[in-house]
Amino acid sequence: MCQQFKRKFDIFLTMTKSRTSLMLIALSVILLTSLSVGLIQESEATKGQGNYLPKTGSSNSPVCGDRLCSEIEKTSSTISSQTISQNHKLSQQMSQDRCDNNDGNTRTYYIAANEVVWDYAPTGINKMKGHQFNEDENVFVENTSDRIGSKYIKALYQEYTDETFSELKPRTSEWEHLGTLGPIIHAEVCDTIKVAFKNNSAEHDYSVHPHGVFYDKDSEGAEYNDGSSKNTKADGIVSPGDTHTYIWQVPPRAGPGPNDPSSIIWMYHSHVDSPMDTNSGLVGPMVVTAKGMADEEGKPLDVDREFVSLFTVSDENSSNYLCDNLEEFTDETCDNEELVEDEDFAESNLMHGINGYVYGNQPGQTMKNGEHVRWYLIGMGTEVDLHTPHWHGNTVLWNGNRIDVMELMPASLKTVDFIPDNVGTWMFHCHVNDHISAGMMSLFTVL
């Protein structure tokens, strides 16, 4: 019996040793893992801070890695406080990312598509240079027996005072610079936008399609094979003389994001035949301001002045009114197929404008030194519409970056801020060489 007990005890010792070995191995793995993670975290935390980087340079100005050690130590001391601040802002943002049923206002706009004669160069001169148009510039603006010139029949969104659409709402000097753009729609996050639209065109169908906001199918303003029922289709094609009311909600996801300023730019445009309709002129701006940051009119409270600029090569060859323009302003008609297909004729109808103005003819871009100016940028068009708006004499902020040139592509929307500090009249233009030559330029004045 003693021998049996001894045998069992030896087996127990053997098992215990095996388990102990396994435990030691496991503990070793855990310790090595923890040490590795700690080293990685320590490396990440001190990366660029110089705490464990070899010091080079002089004793007075030691260098840690690729930066001065003193600079790195100063930077590292603020990381913790910055992280706390960012987390606090994110928490606030998340708490604001909802709208209660009783939040917001309903903002109503009465907008019609009207057919008008528009002049891209109403002063009759190159205001950027201060002289009469030269031979190259006259390619786009001179009216002859077979060239349309600077005046075109277009369809533009225009605002009315009420639902009768009997009286146009005057455009104030503040928005004189909008040119061909429709009335600016302002809204605050949690608002509802109501657009009563009337199509005053003689024969063309039009609509109003918004970007950015929330809408049901009957307020999308676009007709396509989406499987929706017939009773939701009236929004996509509004016939001449008819009206339609669009309802758009403004949820937080339609407002400024974490890196945006207090307001951002969206747009609206006709979408029956989007290329033809936008070349015809049916584009308008829409600005959404963060919740609690708007005045009674929906404008951002922290801004002194707003500007909107649409950069586009308006292709009047692809407008709904090419034949009307030929008949109205030349001795020709669309029956002259040789003319209509002529490359030089087509080139003459490519109007390189900012808000429908060429060669510095745009009015109304005046601000005061030291004001907080918010400038909204819109791009539209086709593959030639790669634009680089450039402000002379001043710089702007976009997404925290200091710039004086912004990149725009078709249907892109950008918001920049700046505080003008350089008094004078300055050039504002697209920096694409061909677009400069064709007149995509304007002036702004800092008083």
Where along the chain do its domains lie? 45-84, 106-446
Question: What DSSP state is assigned to residue 170?
Answer: P
Question: What DSSP state is assigned to residue 77?
Answer: H
Yes or no: say if 366 and 174 are a contact pair by the CB < 8 Å rule: no
pLDDT of residue 32: 46
| Angstrom distance (rounded) from CA 440 to CA 444 | 14
Yes or no: say if 292 and 316 are a contact pair by the CB < 8 Å rule: no
Per-residue pLDDT of the chain (447 residues; tens, 9 = 90+): 444 444 444 544 444 444 444 444 444 444 444 444 444 444 444 344 334 344 444 455 554 544 555 554 555 555 445 554 555 454 445 445 688 876 899 999 999 999 999 999 999 999 999 999 999 999 999 999 999 999 999 999 999 999 999 999 999 999 999 999 999 999 999 999 999 999 999 999 999 999 999 999 999 999 998 888 777 888 999 999 999 999 999 999 999 999 999 999 999 999 999 999 999 999 999 999 999 999 999 999 999 999 999 999 999 999 999 999 999 999 999 999 999 999 999 999 999 999 999 999 999 999 999 999 999 999 999 999 999 999 999 999 999 999 999 999 999 999 999 999 999 999 999 999 999 999 999 999 999
Q: Can you say how many angstroms the Cα of residue 148 is from the centroid of all Cα atoms in its chain? A: 32
- Neighbouring CB atoms inside 10 A of 265's CB total 23
Q: Can you say how many angstroms the Cα of residue 119 is from the centroid of all Cα atoms in its chain? A: 26
The strand order across the sheet containing 62-64 reads: 55-57, 62-64, 67-68
294, burial (CB in 10 Å: exposed 0-12, middle 13-18, buried 19+): buried
* Listed residue (428, 427, 426) closest to 387, CA to CA: 428
Yes or no: say if 198 and 192 are a contact pair by the CB < 8 Å rule: no
Distances (CA, A) of 445 to 62, 416, 420, 421: 48, 17, 10, 11
Parallel/antiparallel/unpaired status of strands 366-367 and 441-446: parallel
pLDDT of residue 1: 47
- Token look-up 């669309």 returns 334
CATH level 3 topology of 106-446: Immunoglobulin-like (2.60.40)
Distances (CA, A) of 310 to 49, 232, 243: 45, 31, 27
The strand order across the sheet containing 401-403 reads: 350-354, 305-315, 373-379, 413-418, 396-398, 401-403
pLDDT of residue 56: 44
pLDDT of residue 228: 83
pLDDT of residue 81: 54
* Strand, helix or coil for residue 38: helix
What string of DSSP letters covers 336-369?
Answer: -HHHHT-HHHHHHTEEEEETTB-TT-----EE-T
Phi, psi of 193 (to 5 degrees): -100, 130
Q: Cα–Cα–Cα angle for 9, 15, 19, nearest 5°?
A: 140
pLDDT of residue 74: 53
Residue 145 exposure: Cα atoms within 13 Å on the Cβ side: 2
pLDDT of residue 30: 41
Alpha helix locations (H) across 225-342?
A: 274-280, 322-329, 337-340
pTM for the whole thing?
0.79
| Angstrom distance (rounded) from CA 235 to CA 280 | 19
* Listed residue (358, 412, 361) closest to 385, CA to CA: 412
